[in-house]
Structure 1
Amino acid sequence: MRAVEFQEYGAPEVLKIVQAEAPEPGPGQVTIEAAYVGVNFADLKARAEGYRVGSLPFRPGLEVSGRIRAVGQGVEGLSAGQEVAALVGGAYAEVVLAESATVFPLPEGVDLRTGATLPTVVPTAHALLHEVGRLRAGESVLVQGAAGGIGTVAGQLARAAGAGAVYGVVSSTAKAGHALKHGYDEVFTAGSFDEDVRRATGGRGVDLVLDPVGGDTLRRGLGVLATFGRLVSFGNASGEEPWQVGQRDLYARGRSVGGFSVLALAQSAPEELRALAERAFRKVSDGTVSLPVTAEFPLADAAEAHRLMGGRTSTGKLLLRVAD
């Protein structure tokens, strides 16, 4: 089978097509004949910095859609030929090995192309707003990265939940139009978002901030929280030192900080992930949420997908097409 791997860290051109033996499922596992693979910022960090890379060579990719090829011993509720989406490691390949706990049958009416957009993005956005952020109707939300995959879904989910105001932050004004079409009332640029939030809210601040950036951006996000506001961290795209929050930041106005990682949840509480995914996927099948695929590349052109995402000009979701 074909797969995409890198043997050294660096620019997108370190991604190479290789020939590899197709995996066979062990107990509790399935193999999936991949149709589409989602491209995520974590893939770029793995390639460039070694994020979550145990050893080289390394095959990136966290989410895949396709048909089950084979089922290992002890697997229940999944069968060969079934169309599924899965949260995995090493998705950039024609055949992908997955733990059955992170394999999800596609909801009725959801095709394989759409399925590849689901495993990380939709459960993450749902958890940020509801399970961790505990958004209530009428509250205001600020989402960093509003034009990306998670941001696109979060804006729609917040609007559907009855948020009083949904504000987004983008890296350039060129991305604002995309966010405004997907649930956002106003969209700010990263350089001045804190000042813009204070203006938009009359100095009150927002009830919930969703932050994948970390560093100074997270600090500024804390600064625009309203009394009893919550901030949920779900990444450190800035590469700055991990955030630390203490009593001085929180006590005076009753603020709180939480965190979420869908990959960590998959390892620590796979049954909770499955329940979360089922709740989140229903928002796609019932039409509440749509995540546009804005660019699609053949598997062999994975480097081009990385260049587009790394240039910070992309919006929505990027996919690799594996099957013809």
Structure 2
Amino acid sequence: MKRVSFAEFGGPEVLRLVDAEEPHAGPGQVRIAVRAAGVNPVDWRIREGQFGPVDLPAGVGLDAAGVVDEVGEGVDGIAVGDAVFGEGSSTYAEFAVLRAWARMPEGLTFEEAAGYPSVVETALRILREVGVESGQTLLVNGASGGVGSAVLQIARERGITVIGMASAANQDYLRELGALATTYGEGWVERVRQLGSVDAALDLAGSGVLRELVELTGDARKVLTIADRGAEEAGVRFSGVAGSVPDALAEAARLISQGKLHIPVEKSYALADAASAHIDSQAGHTRGRRVILV
């Protein structure tokens, strides 16, 4: 089979489309014929070596959607031929093993489904960890990407007011998702204050604004980041440990089926163009998700 791999840490140029042995489903796992794989910032951060030792050469990708073609020992309720989306490893490939999955909601394409698993798990986790409640106001820095898109919609469903920060080109998009929108750049703190007081804040962009977010909330415990490695210096928590992915996938399926969650695919790429997908992901300013079609 074909899969995207890297044999050394580095920039997008280290990615190669190679021939590899097919993986097989172990106990508690399923294998899918991959139809689409989600592109996440964690993918290129692993490729750069930001998360420590990795056995090389290594595959790339966590999220995927496809058709089950192997069911591991102890797995119930799913069968060969079922369409699923979920999380596993080395998903930029023709076949991948998933450790968590859910049936694809009616009407969802493989391309769309591949964009949900990690971002919805992250959105649910950070909303829980930051402790924001119905009737309060949440500020989201980097609100137009995949995680931000999920946060805005889940928060709206929970009765939370969201102030979203994104580029000028994405202001209308944030408003479509129910957020009060404002831009980055000089004067942003005052622009936020004009929109209302802030009870909690999420940093999804890692753009060096943690101290200002603490100032706006008045409490470092009410600020959380998934992107700024300088969190500890600012007294802010860094959230990087995933919660229950099966529970997150079940919640994603519920919200999608009820029409309460939709994350658009901004751009799709061929498997051979994974490097381009990483270049675009690292450039930021995403509206929704990027996915690789297999």
Structure 1 length-normalised TM: 0.82
Structure 1 position 231 matched with structure 2 position 223: yes
| Cα shift readout 1:267-308 (whole Å, capped 9, x = no counterpart) | xxxxx4322331233111111111010101111111111122
Q: Distance in 2 between matches of 1:125 and 1:195?
A: 26
Gap regions ≥5 residues in structure 1: 247-256, 267-271
**Alignment match, 1:197:** 192
Check whether the contact 1:84–1:103 (CA below 8 A) recurs between aligned residues.
yes
Structure 1 residues 33-79: Cα deviation after superposition (integer angstroms, max 9, x where no partner): 10000001111212234435512212111100001111121222222
The answer to whether the Cα contact below 8 Å between 1:122 and 1:281 also exists between their aligned partners in 2 is no
What does 1:88-103 correspond to in 2, within 5 Å?
A: 88-99=88-99, 102-103=100-101
Measured at CA, do residues 190 and 289 of structure 1 come closer, stay the same or move farther in structure 2, by a change above 3 Å?
farther
Stretches of structure 2 lacking an aligned partner (at least 5 in a row): none
- Alpha-carbon separation, structure 1, partners of 2:142 and 2:111: 23
Task: Tell me, in whole angstroms, the C-alpha distance in 1 between the residues paired with 2:56 and 2:152.
Answer: 37
Superposition pairs of residues 54-73 of structure 1, within 5 angstroms: 54-73=54-73
Q: 1:219 to 1:213 in 2, by over 3 A?
A: farther
Contact 1:86 1:103 in 2 (8 A): yes
- More deviation in 215-224 or 111-120? 215-224
- Determine the structure 2 residue equivalent to 1:137: 134
Q: 2:118: which partner in 1?
A: 120
Closer/same/farther in 2, CA of residues 198 and 232 from structure 1, 3 Å limit: same
User: C-alpha offsets along residues 129-161 of structure 1, whole Å, 9 cap, x if unaligned?
Assistant: 2x3334333211111111111111212222222
> 1:190–1:148: structure 2 CA closer, same or farther, 3 Å change rule?
farther
The answer to whether the Cα contact below 8 Å between 2:252 and 2:261 also exists between their aligned partners in 1 is no
Structure 1 residue ranges (4+ consecutive) displaced by more than 6 angstroms after TM superposition? none
Q: Deviations over 1:183-242 (max 9, x none)?
A: 2112220554333223332xxx31121123458422221111157972233333xxx444
The alignment's C-alpha RMSD in Å is 2.4
**What is the aligned partner in structure 1 of residue 198 from structure 2?**
206
Kindly report which structure 2 residues correspond to 1:209-288, keeping only aligned pairs within 5 A, or say none.
209-213=201-205, 216-226=208-218, 230-236=222-228, 240-244=229-233, 260-261=239-240, 264-265=241-242, 272-288=244-260
Q: Which of 302, 305, 310 is the equivalent residue of 2:277?
A: 305
1:123/1:177 Cα in 2 relative to 1: closer, same or farther (>3 Å)?
same
Amino acid at match of 1:243: E
Identity of aligned residues (%): 32
The number of residue pairs the alignment matches comes to 294
Deviations 1:14-34 (A, max 9, x none): 211000111122222221110
CA distance in 1, matches of 2:141, 2:263: 17
Q: For 1:307, what is the secondary structure of its paired residue?
A: helix
TM-score when normalising by structure 2: 0.90
